[in-house]
Amino acid sequence: MTTHQLQYAWGSYAFPGVTRGWWVRGEWGEYRDRFAPGEVVTGNAVSTLMPRPFSAQGWYIATGYKLSDSVFADRLLCSVSKLEFLFRYEVMQNIFFHDLVDLENRLDVFKTRVYTAGVNYFVSGNNVKIQLNYNWVGEPGTSHSADDRQFRSVKNDNVVLNLQVGF
């Protein structure tokens, strides 16, 4: 019998002194569970009969530079000091396929990777900001298509424009 299990860790650091304004954050998580019989169907309509437990992990590391917190903040125009530049790399095991040897009981897990570069503009302190990000998304390629895994060959890169309000 498998019991759902979730493990999680995170960390954050804001650099002091002449490097203030620069920050680094990261998170990691692992999820362990089991699909119900017949819940996963892939390939040539193969369905799980007695699925074994699976484990999926994900993590990210992000870094950024917030001009309003930097040593240059007093010398910048007010509108420029509201900018924050950032970069993020994340990995998530989120694609499940039947194992090629034990089709009905085991799943193979594959990763999606995302690189994000962006800029935030803080309209009202830390409570309102406009975000503009570009995400480069990498999924398993079509090199696996010959083994009946039927990976999709979709280009998932995207631009995100977002207004975030905190209260």
pLDDT of residue 5: 83
pLDDT of residue 10: 96
State percent of the chain over pLDDT 70. 83
- What is the number of residues in the chain? 167
pLDDT of residue 163: 96
- pLDDT above 50: residue 146: no
Cα-to-chain-centroid distance, residue 121:
22
Which residues lie closer than 8 Å to 21 by C-beta, 6 or more apart?
15, 65, 66, 67, 68, 69, 70, 71, 72, 73
The pLDDT tens digits for 57-100 are: 999 999 999 999 999 999 999 889 999 999 999 999 888 777 77
- pLDDT above 50: residue 145: no
Question: What residues make up the domain containing 133?
Answer: 5-165
pTM of the model: 0.80
22-26, 43-47, 54-58, 133-137 — which is least confidently predicted?
Answer: 43-47
Looking at the structure of the chain, the number of domains it has is: 1
Q: What is the DSSP string of 116-155?
A: EEEEEEEEETTTEEEEEEEEEEE---GGGGGGT-------
pLDDT of residue 96: 76
pLDDT of residue 105: 74
